[in-house]
Amino acid sequence: MVSLSSIPYPFFVNDMKKASELTSGMSASVLGWSDDAEVGRFLELGILKGSRIEILRSAPFRGATYVKTEHGNYALREEELAQILISI
């Protein structure tokens, strides 16, 4: 098995932001995740560490966000975006 230390958990990175702080039209690269419970799901969708994500627009009533990634487009809820840690 891979040793745990090989998975960087970037809790110590300073200029780290959550993807939910991005506004429409902004893009950023993924540093990691704040909650490991859903990491597997992000990996499946191809939202990988180091990959770029772009916020295209959001749904009415502060609804879901339309996210463009290197591996397709996704609708993510705000709390889902908040799990993605990014640097602009």
| Cβ 40 to another protein shortest distance, Å | 5
Return the SS3 of 37. helix
**Contact call for residue 61 and another protein (CB under 8 A):** yes
Q: Does 8 bind another protein (CB under 8 A)?
A: no
Residues 16-45 that bind another protein (CB under 8 A): 36-45
Long-range contacts of 40-45 (CB under 8 A, 24+ apart): 42/83, 42/84, 45/69, 45/71, 45/72, 45/74
> Given the rule CB under 8 A, which residues bind another protein?
1-2, 4, 7, 36-46, 48, 56-64, 66, 71-77, 80
